[in-house]
């Protein structure tokens, strides 16, 4: 019996991965360097501690940069693009179906709580009783910590919960924690390895949550 539905945030609820990459790629360009999309896909879903673009730029340029100014410019450009994004197809339908079925909902994200909760509130996406973010745990995905923290908060066993993820490291985190996992590759993660997932969908709009629960049954 499924009693919990846990969403990833970036690339799953909102396709922020492309703006985040684009904003950094533009900063690299301004310094005469390239940030390849191929490389960026390998760090997606792992949290900001895993790769520090400013440190990378400094190393490649061999000089010290104004970190604060770069981060401020990056945030402004990123937000410009993120504000234009719509909630990913099927997310609202899945939320409504889970609510109707009495299934609790949570969010497990390697990003900061400020980022995740800020966007959820801005978009009026409510109903998530347990939200665990990068700042709440020691290890980001692909470690199972975020999922284990959400399960504990929800009071749901791993085999009673379904995770929805757009990245390979997110799928690995969910499976390491013992949840069922539905992978929905996003614009930046299509090349990831989704083999550990129980189900791979092109979009959450493809199949209803009810149908997925029946299939995982
Ligand atoms: Mg993601």
Burial class of 43 by CB neighbour count within 10 A (0 to 12, 13 to 18, 19+): middle
Q: pLDDT confidence of 48, banded at 50, 70, 90?
A: confident
CA atoms 42, 95, 163, 194: torsion sign: negative
Q: What is the predicted pLDDT for the residue at 13?
A: 98
Burial class of 108 by CB neighbour count within 10 A (0 to 12, 13 to 18, 19+): buried
Q: What CATH number belongs to 4-15+86-216?
A: 3.40.50.1000
C-alpha angle 85/24/17, rounded to 5°? Answer: 35
Cα 41 from Cα 44, distance rounded (Å): 5
Cα 82 from Cα 50, distance rounded (Å): 22
45 pLDDT more than 80: no
Burial class of 50 by CB neighbour count within 10 A (0 to 12, 13 to 18, 19+): middle
* Token code pair at residue 21: 């990459």
Distance 185 CA to ligand 1 centre (A): 9
Q: What is the predicted pLDDT for the residue at 49?
A: 78
Distance 7 CA to ligand 1 centre (A): 9
Classified as helix, coil or strand, 59 is helix
Distance 64 CA to ligand 1 centre (A): 31
Question: Are the C-beta atoms of 177 and 8 separated by less than 8 Å?
Answer: no
- Identify the top-confidence range among 42-46, 47-51, 116-120: 116-120
* Token code pair at residue 63: 């000089």
Distance 61 CA to ligand 1 centre (A): 30
Cα 205 from Cα 56, distance rounded (Å): 38
Distance 114 CA to ligand 1 centre (A): 16
Q: Which residues are catalytic?
A: 8, 10
- Strand 161-165 to strand 199-200: parallel, antiparallel, or no bridges (unpaired)? unpaired
Question: Are the C-beta atoms of 153 and 132 separated by less than 8 Å?
Answer: yes
Q: pLDDT confidence of 217, banded at 50, 70, 90?
A: confident
Q: What is the pLDDT of residues 106-160, one digit of tens each?
A: 999 999 999 999 999 999 999 999 999 999 999 999 999 999 999 999 999 999 9
Distance 148 CA to ligand 1 centre (A): 17
Q: What is the predicted pLDDT for the residue at 46?
A: 78
Cα 15 from Cα 4, distance rounded (Å): 23
Single out the residue of 103, 56, 50 nearest to residue 212, CA to CA. Answer: 103
């Amino acid at each position: 019996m499924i009693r919990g539905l846990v969403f990833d945030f970036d690339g799953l609820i909102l396709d922020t991965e492309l703006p985040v990459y684009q904003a950094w790629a533009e900063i690299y360009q301004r310094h005469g360097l390239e940030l390849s999309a191929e490389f960026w896909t390998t760090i997606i879903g792992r949290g900001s501690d895993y790769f520090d673009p400013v440190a990378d730029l400094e190393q490649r340029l061999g000089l010290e940069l104004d970190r604060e100014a770069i981060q401020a410019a990056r945030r402004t450009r990123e937000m410009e693009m993120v504000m234009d994004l719509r909630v990913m197809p099927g997310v609202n339908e899945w939320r409504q179906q889970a609510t109707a079925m009495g299934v609790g909902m949570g969010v497990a994200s390697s990003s900061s709580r400020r980022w995740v909760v800020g966007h959820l509130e801005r978009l009026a996406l409510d109903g998530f009783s347990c939200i665990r973010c990068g700042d709440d745990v020691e290890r980001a995905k692909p470690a199972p910590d975020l999922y284990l923290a959400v399960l504990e908060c929800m009071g749901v066993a791993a085999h009673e919960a379904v995770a929805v993820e757009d990245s390979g490291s997110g799928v690995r985190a969910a499976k390491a924690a013992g949840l069922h996992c539905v992978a929905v590759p996003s614009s930046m993660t299509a090349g990831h390895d989704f083999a550990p997932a129980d189900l791979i969908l092109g979009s959450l709009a493809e199949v209803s949550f009810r149908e997925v629960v029946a299939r995982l049954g």
